Structures are given as structure tokens and as C-alpha cells.
């Protein structure tokens, strides 16, 4: 019995024309059993758009989460002080970059600069203000135990001049200079810093303590001190004193500060004063450790003649630089302020 499917399965029977034509066409594409010559074509990876998009989305989410976790949520701190121009334009550098305006906020590390045509007023909380003169540079500092102990406000006059009007508890407001710290004791005073760092401090009302680690002087109203970098404050003198007296005190200061052996002539010029109010100068010479003991003894004796010490300030105690004795004598002296 003839089966029409025999040719399809085993080639027996009558050839089918359509099958024969299909086999002839396919035979042209039959593998020869040999690999083609030359390099094989590179494998092209199959694109998976959904997987790629999901990966990019995941990376973006991770980056966003990292930013959210590490972002700075602290709001910008308000300025500690606001400077207002009394004339011209003010300039500042520091936390917000360089700025120029008639009003500027100041933070720790900022510098306020006045040029030849500008002056500024800076409010110091509710305790007073300062006026910064033309050609000045003022820096805002952070008080610390190592620098300006007990202070709540610390400004640094790098160059130029200011007038401080402060009415607060002692030591809350302090001004640093290249020659030492001006510590407010409730007062109005001026401070002027020259280009070489020399500082002249004059008190108009109240008192100022001018301090370095080596020396402290108390400057009452109507008096001044000149301080030098590396030497600190000089011995205070009254502003009404004569030019000869200023020169004599400055000469003795310079000789004692540099350790000069021959002080007699300089001491003689200072001790020649007949004014009891010059106790301001003589008392500070006694309390200055740089003065040799023989010279200190001469100063103690001359001050005792001009303004006798109270019972609690014996000669021996003062020569030994006993703080209690020296404070008792100072308290008995009428310096005003």
C-alpha cells in the first residue's frame, strides 16, 4: 500500500515537488563542518531597558538618602555684631566672603575694614558700642580661657583706632592689640594701633586694665599707657603731665624692660617728682617684677613720702611684692576713675 508520507520520512515512494524544492533551497545554507576564517564577531549583549532603568533609579535613591543623612541641618548663626557706617562704605572679609555695604553683619573670624573715607559704629549687645575710625581693621574673635579669660565679647584691633563706650560688669568686654589686651572695667577709652603694633591707650572715664602675661597695669580716667609688641604695657602716666615727665618714665621703662644694668640716672629723673598724684606711676613701678630690688626700694621710699601707705602695706611686704600689701596701698591712693 502506497503511503504519500513515505518520501517525507525515508525518501521512498514518489518525490513530492514542494518538499524537493524546499530541500534544494535549504541545502545552500547547510553547515560545511568547518569554522569560518578570521575573528569571530563580537557578542552583542542583549539590552534590558527595564533592568537598566531600575538600577539607575536605585543608585539615585541611595545617593539621595546619603545626602539626606549627612546634610547640615544647622541654621546659619545670626551675626554677633552689626556694623553701621558713620561715613562712607564699610568692607568686611571672612565667613561670607568679601562684602561692601553701609551695614554689615559680623561673625567670629570676620574683619571689618574702614578706608580713608569711612567710619563705623558697632553695637556690643546691650552693654555699649565702639566707633571705628578711618583706616582701621577690626577682627571678631571668640573668647576662651587661654585668650581673654572671663570675656563675653572679644574684638581685635589689628590697625587703626577705636573708641569704646562700655557699661557692663568688669572684664566682659575686651579688645586685643598686637601689644596686649585692653580689659574693660566699665569705661570709655580710646585705643590706637600703629603699623608696627605699638598701642596707645587713653581712658576718658572709668578704668582699663591693660594686660600681658608678664605685666598688668591699671589705667584710670585721665591717664594713658603706651604698649609695645613683645614688651607689653608701659608704666601709666597722667595725660596732663609734662613732656619731660613722659620722657623720663619712657626711658626708665625701656631700660628696665631690656635689663639695662645702669638705671640710676633714669630712676633719679622719675623720683624727682613732687606731685602726690604721680603715685599712679610710682606704684606701678613697685609692682613691676622687672625692676631690680635696690631700685624698687628707692621707689617704695619715695612713694611713702608722697603718699604714705596704710597699716596693711609694710615696707618689707611691698618690697617682697606681696599682692595684699600692694593692693592695700593702691586702694588708699586717690586715682579717680
The last residue of one of the domains, among 215, 234, 253, is 234
If asked whether residues 244 and 223 sit together in one domain, one would say no
CATH number assigned to the domain comprising residue 165: 2.60.120.1440
pLDDT at 141: 94
Can you name the residues that pair with 137 across neighbouring β-strands? 113, 159
Q: Which of 234, 266, 296 is the last residue of a domain?
A: 234
Same domain flag for 95 and 218: yes
- Phi-psi category of residue 13: left, alpha or beta, with phi > 0 → left and psi -120 to 50 → alpha: left
Q: What is the pLDDT of residue 17?
A: 61
Q: Are 262 and 227 in contact (CB under 8 A)?
A: no
Answer yes or no: is 43 within a domain: no
Q: Answer whether 320's CB lies under 8 Å from 331's CB.
A: no
Predicted pLDDT of residue 31: 54
Domain membership flag for residue 9: no
Query: Residues 88, 198: one domain?
Result: yes
Asked whether residue 261 falls in the same domain as residue 299, the answer is yes
Residues 217, 98 within the same domain: yes
Per-residue confidence (pLDDT) for residue 150, from 0 to 100 = 86
| Residue that the C-alpha cell 603718699 belongs to | 307
Which of 234, 254, 274 finishes a domain? 234
Q: What is the predicted pLDDT for the residue at 44?
A: 46
- Residue-by-residue pLDDT tens, the chain, 337 positions: 445 555 555 555 566 666 655 565 555 555 555 555 555 455 545 545 555 555 555 665 665 555 555 555 555 567 889 999 999 999 988 876 778 888 888 999 999 999 999 999 999 999 999 999 999 999 999 988 877 888 899 999 999 999 999 999 999 999 999 999 999 998 999 999 999 999 999 999 999 999 999 899 999 999 999 999 999 999 999 999 999 999 999 999 999 988 888 899 999 999 999 999 999 999 999 999 889 999 999 999 999 999 999 998 999 999 999 999 999 999 999 887 5
pLDDT of residue 1: 46
**234 CB-near residues (< 8 Å, 6+ apart):** 217, 225, 226, 227, 228, 249, 250, 253
Same domain (yes/no): 122, 214: yes
Q: Does residue 56 sit within a domain? A: no
* pTM to 2 decimal places: 0.75
> In terms of domains, do 125 and 163 share one?
yes
Supply the DSSP string of 14-30, one letter for each residue. Answer: SPPHHHHHHHHHHHTT-
Task: Specify if 72 maps to a domain.
Answer: no
- The DSSP annotation for 134-165 comes to TT-EEEEE---SSSSTT-SEEEEEEEEEEEEE
In a domain, residue 8? The reply is no
Same domain, 296 and 197: no
Read off φ and ψ for residue 192, nearest 5 degrees: -130, 125
Is residue 4 included in any domain, yes or no?
A: no
Amino acid 49: pLDDT: 54
Say if residue 263 is in the same domain as residue 331.
yes
Q: Are residues 142 and 114 in the same domain?
A: yes
The tally of domains found in the chain comes to 2
Domain contains 268: yes
In a domain, 259, yes or no: yes
pLDDT of residue 2: 47
Q: Classify residue 95 by its DSSP letter.
A: T
User: Residues 203, 113: one domain?
Assistant: yes
Domain that holds residue 83: 78-234
Residue 296 and residue 221 share a domain = no
How confident is the model at residue 337, as a pLDDT?
Answer: 57
Amino acid at each position: 500500500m502506497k503511503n504519500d508520507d513515505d518520501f517525507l520520512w525515508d525518501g521512498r515512494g514518489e518525490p513530492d515537488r514542494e518538499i524537493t524544492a524546499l530541500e534544494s533551497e535549504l541545502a545552500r545554507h547547510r553547515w560545511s563542518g568547518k569554522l569560518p576564517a578570521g575573528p569571530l564577531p563580537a557578542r552583542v549583549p542583549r539590552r534590558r531597558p527595564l533592568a537598566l532603568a531600575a538600577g539607575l533609579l536605585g543608585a539615585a535613591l541611595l545617593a539621595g538618602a546619603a545626602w539626606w543623612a549627612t546634610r547640615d541641618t544647622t541654621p546659619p548663626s545670626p551675626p554677633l555684631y552689626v556694623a553701621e557706617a558713620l561715613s562712607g562704605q564699610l568692607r568686611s572679609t571672612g565667613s561670607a566672603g568679601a562684602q561692601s555695604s553701609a551695614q554689615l553683619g559680623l561673625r567670629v573670624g570676620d574683619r571689618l575694614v574702614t578706608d580713608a573715607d569711612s567710619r563705623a559704629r558697632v553695637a556690643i549687645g546691650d552693654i555699649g558700642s565702639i566707633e571705628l575710625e578711618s583706616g582701621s581693621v577690626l577682627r571678631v574673635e571668640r573668647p576662651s580661657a587661654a585668650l581673654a579669660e572671663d570675656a563675653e565679647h572679644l574684638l581685635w584691633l589689628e590697625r587703626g583706632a577705636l573708641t569704646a563706650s562700655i557699661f557692663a560688669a568688669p572684664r566682659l568686654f575686651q579688645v586685643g592689640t598686637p601689644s596686649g589686651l585692653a580689659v574693660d572695667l566699665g569705661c570709655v577709652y580710646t585705643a590706637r594701633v600703629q603699623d608696627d603694633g605699638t598701642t596707645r591707650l587713653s581712658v576718658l572715664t572709668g578704668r582699663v586694665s591693660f594686660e600681658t602675661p608678664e605685666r598688668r597695669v591699671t589705667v584710670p580716667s585721665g591717664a594713658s599707657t603706651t604698649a609695645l609688641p613683645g614688651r607689653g604695657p608701659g608704666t601709666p602716666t597722667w595725660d596732663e603731665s609734662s613732656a619731660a615727665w613722659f620722657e623720663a618714665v619712657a626711658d626708665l621703662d625701656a631700660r628696665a624692660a631690656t635689663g639695662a644694668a645702669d638705671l640710676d640716672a633714669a630712676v633719679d629723673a622719675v623720683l624727682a617728682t613732687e606731685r602726690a598724684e604721680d603715685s599712679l606711676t610710682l606704684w606701678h613701678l613697685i609692682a613691676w617684677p622687672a625692676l631690680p630690688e635696690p631700685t624698687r626700694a628707692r621707689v617704695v621710699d619715695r612713694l611713702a613720702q608722697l603718699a604714705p601707705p596704710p597699716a596693711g602695706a609694710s615696707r618689707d611686704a611691698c618690697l617682697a611684692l606681696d599682692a595684699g600689701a600692694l593692693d592695700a596701698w593702691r586702694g588708699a591712693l586717690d586715682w579717680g576713675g
